[in-house]
Chains A and B, each alone.
Chain A
Amino acid sequence: IAGITQAPTSQILAAGRRMTLRCTQDMRHNAMYWYRQDLGLGLRLIHYSNTAGTTGKGEVPDGYSVSRANTDDFPLTLASAVPSQTSVYFCASSGAGGADTQYFGPGTRLTVL
Chain B
Amino acid sequence: KQEVTQIPAALSVPEGENLVLNCSFTDSAIYNLQWFRQDPGKGLTSLLLIQSSQREQTSGRLNASLDKSSGRSTLYIAASQPGDSATYLCAVENTGNQFYFGTGTSLTVIP
A106 in contact with B43 (CB, 8 Å): yes
User: A2 an interface residue at 8 Å Cβ cutoff?
Assistant: no
Does the CB pair A42–B32 fall under 8 Å? no
For chain B, the bracket of interface size reads: 20 to 34
CB distance from B68 to the nearest CB of A (A): 16
Residues of A within 8 A of B31 (CB): 98-99
Mark out the residues of chain A between 81 and 111 whose CB falls within 8 Å of any chain B CB in the assembled complex.
Answer: 90, 92, 97-107
**Size of chain A's interface in residues, with CB distance under 8 A?**
28
Please give the distance in Å from B39's CB to the nearest CB on chain A: 11
Q: A31-B97, A43-B91, A45-B100 are in contact. List 14 more A-B contacts (CB 8 A).
A: A42-B102, A45-B98, A50-B97, A56-B96, A98-B32, A98-B97, A100-B49, A101-B34, A101-B46, A102-B44, A102-B46, A103-B46, A104-B43, A104-B44
23 contacts between A and B (CB under 8 A): A4-B43, A31-B97, A35-B99, A42-B4, A42-B89, A42-B101, A42-B104, A43-B89, A43-B91, A43-B101, A58-B98, A58-B99, A59-B98, A90-B44, A98-B97, A98-B99, A102-B34, A102-B44, A102-B91, A102-B99, A104-B36, A104-B43, A107-B43
